[in-house]
Chain A
Amino acid sequence: MKLCDRVFGSPVGAKMLMALTGLMLTGFVLAHLSGNLLLYAGQEKFNAYAHGLQSLGLLLWLARGGLLTAFVLHLYLAIKLTIENKAARPVPYAHEATIQASLASRHMVHTGLLMFAFIVYHLAHFTFRVTSPEIEALTPGDAYAVVVLGFSNPVVSGFYILAMAALATHLRHGVSSAFQSFGLYHGNLNVVTDKLGPIVAGIVFVGFSSIPVSVLLGCIK
C-alpha cells in the first residue's frame, strides 16, 4: 500500500512511472515501425506478416493489454501532473524567459494530446477500418491495400506526417528524459542518453513518414 502510494502519489514515483510507460510505448512504436517497413518488401510479404500477427492469439491479446495499461497510465499521469504544474504557478510572469529548456520539453503535453487524437483516428482507420466505405469494402486480409488506399489521399497522409512530427518531438525530449527520471545520470552515460532521444526521434519520423510519401509518389502501389 505504502509502496503503491509512493509510486503514484509522489512527484518522484509518478515521474518514474511516466518514464516506464513512455519507454514501453516507445518500444512498441519501434517494433511497429520495423513491421511497417515490410511494406517495401511487397504486398504478399506484408500481408503474411499482418496475418502472422493476427494468429498470435493469446500473445497478441497480452501485448495489447500491456500496451493499453501503459497508455492509460501514461495519459492519466500526464494530465494529473500537468494540472498540478499549472496550479503551482497561479500568477504568471509578466516577462517570460526560457534559459535552456528545449522546445520539445515545453510542449510534451501538446505533442502528447495531438498523438492521442491521432491514435483514435489511426485505430479507426487501420484496425477497425471504418473511416470510409471504400476501406470497408476491401478484402479483410488485405492490410497492404488498406495502407495504399488510405495514403493515396493527401489529406490523410498530411495528418499522418503531422502526427509523426508530434511523436518525434515528444520522443526527442522523452526518451532522453526518461533516464534522468530513473536516476540514471552520469558523465559517461549521458553521452549516449542525451543523443538517444534525437536519434530515436529521427528514426521514427523518417521511417514512418517515408510510407505515405512513397505511396503518394507511386513507389508503393
Chain B
Amino acid sequence: MDVTLHVWRQKNAKAKGAMEVIEGKDISEHSSFLEMLDTVNETLLSKGQEPIAFDHDCREGICGACSLVINGEPHGPEYGTTTCQLHMRSFKNGQHIFIEPWRAKAFPVIRDLVVDREAFDRIQQAGGFVSVNVGSPQDANCLPIAKQDADKAFDAAVCIGCGACVAACKNASPMLFVAAKVSQLALLPQGQPERESRVLAMVDQMKKEGFGNCSNQYECEAACPKEISVEHIARMNREYLRASFLEEAPKAGHGGD
C-alpha cells in the first residue's frame, strides 16, 4: 500500500520545525507503524536525505518509549494499543497520515518526533517509590494483600509512562500518569509509610514542570495504551485531600535513611 505522510520535522530543540510531506511507497499492510517508518527512512537514506527521528525500544508494547500523535490521536486510532503494536492494516491505501510529536510545554521536542520526557522521571523521583531497609528480604507471603486491592494496584501499575495521556489531554495534563503511580502505591501495604508525603510531593512536582490542569474530559483514558481508568484520578484527588489535612511538611525525596 501507499500512504502520504505529513511529518513534523525539526532539526533540534532550538530550531523552528514544520510539517513536511513524505511519500511512503510499497508498504506492507502487515508491517507495524514503526516498521513503516523504518521503510520510509531506508528510502530517505538511499536518497541521501535525513531519516525521520522517532522514539522506540521494545516494540512489543511494554517499555513506553514509542510515542507519535497519529491523525490527532496519541498512539494512533486503535484502542489500547501502543504505536509499536499498531499495524498498517488500520489505515487505507492512499490515506494521508499526520504524524506529530507529543505536544506539551513540559515535553520539549528534541528532534523531529522525539520529545524529552524527563519531566515524568522527576515526578516519579519526587515520590513514586517505596523506601526499603537494607538486609535480607522479607518472605513475600508475610504481607497479605486482599485480592481486590492487588488487582486494582495492578491496573494502575501497568502504566508504562509513555506520556500519551499528556499528549491527548486538551490541557496537556499528566493527571492519569501521576494518578496511576500514586494509586498503585496507595493501595499496597508497602506504600503506606510514605502515603501522604508521596501524593503531595508528586502533585507539587507536576505543577512545577509546567503541565496543565485536569478538566475531567477523559481524553487521557481513551488514549492510554494500557486502558488505565480515570478512577485512579479520583483516588489521587481523595489521597491529596486526605494528605493535605494529615501531613504538615512534605517529607518525600528523603528516601529511607
Q: A interface vs B, CB < 8 Å? A: 2-3, 6-7, 9-16, 81, 84-85, 87-102, 105-106, 108, 173, 177, 180-186
| Pick from A88, A93, A102, A184: contact of B171, CB under 8 Å | A88
B48-56, B146-154, B233-241: which lies at the interface: B233-241
CA separation between A70 and B237, bound complex, in Å? 21
Sample of 22 A–B contacts (CB below 8 Å): A2-B248, A2-B249, A3-B244, A7-B244, A10-B240, A15-B214, A85-B171, A89-B172, A93-B69, A93-B72, A94-B8, A95-B100, A96-B72, A100-B218, A100-B221, A100-B222, A101-B170, A180-B230, A181-B237, A184-B234, A185-B231, A186-B231
Nearest residue in B to A187 (C-beta to C-beta)? B231
B contact residues around A6 at 8 Å (CB): 200, 240, 244
Given A2-B244, A88-B104, A183-B234: 10 more A-B contacts, CB < 8 Å: A3-B245, A7-B244, A11-B206, A87-B210, A88-B105, A93-B100, A96-B72, A97-B71, A100-B222, A186-B231
Give the chain A neighbours of B206 by CB distance below 8 A. 11
Are A94 and B6 interface neighbours, CB within 8 A? yes
**B218-234 near A? 1/0 per residue, CB < 8 Å:** 11011100000011011
Q: Say which residue of B172, B237, B249 sits within 8 Å of A88 (CB atoms).
A: B172
The yes or no answer to B28 lying at the interface (CB within 8 A) is: no
The residue in chain A whose Cβ has the minimal distance to the Cβ of B167 is: A93
Q: CB within 8 Å of A: which of B14-70?
A: 19, 69
B162 at the interface (CB under 8 A from A): no
Cβ contact within 8 Å between B212 and A85? yes
Q: Which residues from 167 to 223 on chain B have a C-beta closer than 8 Å to any C-beta of chain A?
A: 168, 170-173, 175, 200, 203-204, 206-207, 210-219, 221-223
Within the assembled complex, what's the spacing in Å between the Cα atoms of A98 and B173? 15
Rounded to whole angstroms, the CA-CA distance of A15 and B103 in the bound complex is: 23
Shortest Cβ gap from A54 to chain B (Å): 39
Q: How far does the alpha carbon of A111 sit from the alpha carbon of B214 in the complex, in Å?
A: 18
B106 sits at the interface (CB 8 A): yes
Top 8 closest A-B pairs, CB basis? A97-B72, A88-B212, A185-B234, A183-B238, A95-B98, A85-B171, A101-B217, A183-B237
CB distance from B136 to the nearest CB of A (A): 39
Q: Give the distance in Å from the alpha carbon of A90 to the alpha carbon of B207 in the complex.
A: 16
Which A residues lie within 8 Å of B200 (CB)?
6
Question: Distance (Å) between the CB of A8 and the closest chain B CB?
Answer: 12
Closest to B175 in A: A11
Q: Kindly state the interface size class of chain B when it binds its partner.
A: 35 or more
| Chain B proximity of A147: nearest CB distance (Å) | 36
Contact indicator A15/B237 (Cβ below 8 Å): yes
**Complex alpha-carbon distance, A101 and B102, angstroms:** 18
Interface residues of B (CB under 8 A from A): 6, 8, 19, 69, 71-73, 98, 100, 103-106, 168, 170-173, 175, 200, 203-204, 206-207, 210-219, 221-223, 230-231, 233-241, 244-245, 248-249
Q: How far is the CA of A140 from the CA of B230 in the complex (A)?
A: 52
B213 contact from A3, A81, A106, Cβ within 8 A: A81
Q: Which of B106, B233, B244 has the most CB of A within 10 A?
A: B244
Query: Measured between C-beta atoms, what is the minimum distance from B160 to chain A in Å?
Result: 19
Query: Do A88 and B231 form a contact, CB below 8 Å, given A7-B244, A97-B71?
Result: no
Q: Are A94 and B240 in contact (CB under 8 A)?
A: no
Q: How far is the CA of A177 from the CA of B218 in the complex (A)?
A: 10
CB distance from A12 to the nearest CB of B (A): 4
Distance in angstroms from A189 CB to nearest chain B CB is 10
Q: Given A2-B249, A106-B170, are A101 and B219 neighbors across the interface (CB < 8 Å)? A: yes
Contact A11:B207 (CB < 8 A) given known A3-B244, A95-B6, A99-B73: yes
CB neighbours (8 Å) of B219 from chain A are: 98-101
Complex formed: what's the CA distance from A84 to B72 in Å? 22
Instruction: Please tell me if the beta carbons of A183 and B241 are within 8 angstroms of each other in the complex.
Output: yes
Interface centre among A15, A99, A108, A185 (most CB of B within 10 A): A99
